[in-house]
Amino acid sequence: MVDPGEQPAVAARREALEEAGVEISVERLAAVSVSPSVTHVNGDRGVYLDLTFACTWVSGEARVCDDENTDVRWWPIAALPDVQPFMMERIEAGLADEVAARFRS
């Protein structure tokens, strides 16, 4: 989540460090989309604006650094685990050699 007054790319760098213990550089905005509908425990429903950034690892050993995750690891592109289609679209956008961001309509 973006903190009040924080720029999205700055938030991406902070979140990578807070959640996975890695320093990254943000190269470009790769895609803009919305999440599938989420129903929270209290019954509230939401749809989130997703900004996907193409990033490069700079330093740090990937590890669980917070209470939001149970596992953090690097995966070879050719051997990714099964992920939901919307997440695969985000991965593909981040890996694409494109200049402009993808917008899902």
Cα 75 to Cα 46: distance, rounded to the nearest angstrom: 30
Per-residue confidence (pLDDT) for residue 104, from 0 to 100: 80
CA-wise closest residue to 11 among 63, 72, 58, 53: 53
Cβ atoms within 10 Å of 41's Cβ, excluding its own: 5
Write the pLDDT tens digit of every residue in 32-86.
999 889 999 999 999 999 999 999 999 999 999 988 889 999 999 999 999 989 8
**How many CA atoms within 13 Å lie on the side-chain side of 47?**
5
Question: What's the pTM?
Answer: 0.85
Q: Which CATH number fits domain 8-103: 3.90.79.10, 3.30.2420.10, 3.30.420.40, 3.90.105.10?
A: 3.90.79.10
Is residue 95's pLDDT more than 70? yes
Name the residue ranges covered by the structural domains of the chain.
8-103
